[in-house]
Chains A and B, each alone.
Chain A
Amino acid sequence: MNAPSGSSLHHNKSRHGGLTSHVLDVLCPMHLIVDAEGDVIHLGPTLRKMFAGLGVVGEPFLETFDLQRPRGVTAITDLRLAEGTKLHLVVRQPPQTALKGVVVPMDGAAGNLVVNLSFGISIMDGVRDFALSNADFAATDLAIEMLYLMEAKSAAMEASRKLNLRLQGAKTLAEEAAMTDTLTGLKNRRAMDQILTVLVEGRTPFAVMHIDLDFFKAVNDTLGHAAGDHVLQVAAGIMIEETRESDVVARVGGDEFTILLPNVSNEDTLRRVGQRIIDRLCEPIPFGEAVCRVSASIGTVWIEHGERPSIPDLLENADVALYASKHAGRACQTLYTPELRSKPHLRQPPPGRRGG
C-alpha cells in the first residue's frame, strides 16, 4: 500500500509541535491540528480530500464539527479536558458524516491539540461519500482489510442465500411428493396422520369420515386395473368437490378414503355431506365403452367441542361405524355412537381395513 501522498512542501516542513506534520500525515492521514484559540490550523491528507473547498482551515474546530459525546463541550477549553477519551463527532455539513476521534495535546507547541479521526462503523458510507481509495488510509490501518472482508462476506452470503432458496424449494417439493397419493393427487396416509394429530390437539369440533367404495373389487376384476384406477380418480374428484377447501381428503388404502372435516358444528352437516358423496358415487362412471358401477359406505365420527380422544380410538370408532354401514346394506352413512359397540356382530372391522 502506498503512503498517503500529495502533501505540499509547506506541510512537510512545518512543525506544529513534537512531531512534524509529515509524520502525522503518514501515520494518521485523518488527523487535524487545533491551535490554542480553537481554530483548525492543519488537516491530514485524507481530511483535506474530504473537506476540499469548504475552507475548514482557519475556522473554529467546533463550527465544523458537532461534538456529540462527551456532552456539553462548547469551548475549546472543554475539549482539552476530554484528552484521551473517545470522541463522537458529526460533521455539520452534509452528508453529516459520523466520526470517532481522540484528542491529545501536542508536545512542545503552545496549546496546540491533535485530533485524530476515524470513520468507525460508518466506514462504508465514508469511502463512498468521499470516493476514498486505499491510499487515503494509513498502510497499517485495517480499514481496507475490513472493507475487503465486508465485500467478500456479502458476496459469499448472497451465494449461500440463493442456494438456500433453491434447497428450500426442493424441500417443499419433496415434502409435497411425500404427502401426496400419486394416483389421485389426494393426500396420503402420512399427511392424514399429521393433520389428524393437529386436530386432536386442538379445541374445535371436527369429524373423521371413513369411506369405502362398494363393489370396487368387481370393477377391477371384470374391467381391469385401468378401469379401477379411473374409478379411484373420479371418486377422488367427487370427494374434493363435495367438501370444503379446509377439509382434507386422503386416500389411505386401495379403495379406502378418509376425510377430515375441521370446524363441524353439528351432525346434520355431516349427514348432508356424506349423502351427497354417496349419491354422486352411485352414478355410473363411463370408462371407454364400459360403465363402472360402485357405491360408497361411510362411517363417521364427530368430535364435539372439548373431547380429546386418542387417535387409535378415533380411527377404530370410524371403522365400527363404517362396518355398521356395510352391514346395513352399503350405500349409506353411519354416525358413530358407543351403542354400536354393544352389538357384537358389528365389533369386528370389515376385512381389508386396518385396526387403529
Chain B
Amino acid sequence: MAEPKRNDDSMDATPNVTEVETADAATVAESVAAIEAPAQRGEPILQVRNLVKHFPLTQGILFKKQVGAVKAVDGVSFDLYQGETLGIVGESGCGKSTVAKLLMTLEQATAGEVFFKGQDITRLSGRALKAVRRNIQMVFQDPYTSLNPRMTVGDIIGEPFDIHPEVAPKGDRRRKVQELLDVVGLNPEYINRYPHQFSGGQRQRIGIARGLALNPEIIICDEPVSALDVSVQAQVINLMEKLQDEFNLSYIFIAHDLSIVRHISDRVGVMYLGKIAEIGTDTQIYDHPTHPYTQALLSAVPVPDPDAREGRDRIILSGDVPSPANPPSGCRFRTRCWKAQDKCATEVPLLAIPERFKGTDGHTAHESACHFAEERDVVHAA
C-alpha cells in the first residue's frame, strides 16, 4: 500500500556513524538504568482488561434503530503500578480520551474490566463507586473549561471536601485549601478569586490542586499541558513530577506530544484506532520501536533541532486515520502500512512480545501488535 517516503538524507547518511558513536554510548548507559527500575514494582494498582467502548450510531427520531457503532475503544489491556507513570499516546480519534473517561467511570464500559486493587470498578455504583472515586482523580485538558467560572478558587478546590466530608472536618477546610494552593505553587491568598482572573498555567495548577484534594492514589491526566504555552508547560510538568514524588502518585498521562510523554513516563502505550499497538518502557518504545505505526509516529515528530532533523529517518504516512465506525479488518493499521500483506487483512495481530524477539533480553522484547515486527530507530540521527 503506502510506500514510505523517506528523507533523501537518511539514505546516504551512513558516513556520519563515527561521529554519533559517543552519543550512542551515553544512551545505552541510560537505558540500562531504565530497564532495571521497573523490577521492584510489585502488584499493579490498576489492571485494565479487554476494555471495550462502542458508541451506538442510531437512526430515526421516535423509534431509534441502531445502525452501527463507533468502536472508540476496542479491547484495551494494561497494568499500572504504584508510583509509576504510564503514558498513552496516539492521534485524535484513537480512543485515548475515552479510555480516560472509562477509567473514571464517567462512561459506562461496553465490556471489559478495570480492577482497582483487585476490585472491578466498572460494576460499581452508589456508595462503593463514590469511595473508589476518592482514589482515582483526573486533571483535564482545557484549563478554561474545567473550572466552574461562577465559583471561587476556594470553592472549586474545596468542593471535593463537600462531597466527601469524611476527608476534612468542616472547620479545617479553608486551611486545607490554602495548603493545597501552596503545594501547587499558587499564593494561598488567591482563595477568594475567580478562575477568569488567572492565566492558563495558573488555572491548570488549580485543577491539579482539586485533583489532589482527596489524596488519591491515581491521577489520570488527559492532555494536561497541551493547551498551555511552551514556557508554562515545563513549569506544570515539573510540578506534576514533584507531586508524584511527594505523594507517591501513579499517573496515567494521556497526550499527543510524544516528547513530553517520553519525559514524564516510565512506560508508554501507543494507541491506534481503539487498540494498543505497542507498549513498553520509554526506552523500548522510543529507542527500539518494533511496530510500524510507532515508527511512523515517532519519525513525524518535528524536532526543534534542524541538524538532528536532517539525519533522521523519516516515514511519511499517506492518507488519514480510517473511521472508527468502520475500522479495517485484521490489523487496523494495514491501510496505511508499507509492510502490509494479505495476512494483515485477515488476521488480527495480538498484543504480545513478537515470537522472534522472545527469549532475547534486549529492548526489542516488548509487546507489539504487528505480524512483521522489526526494530527501526527513527528517533536518533543516523
Q: Do A and B come from one complex?
A: no
Contacts from A to B (Cβ < 8 Å): none
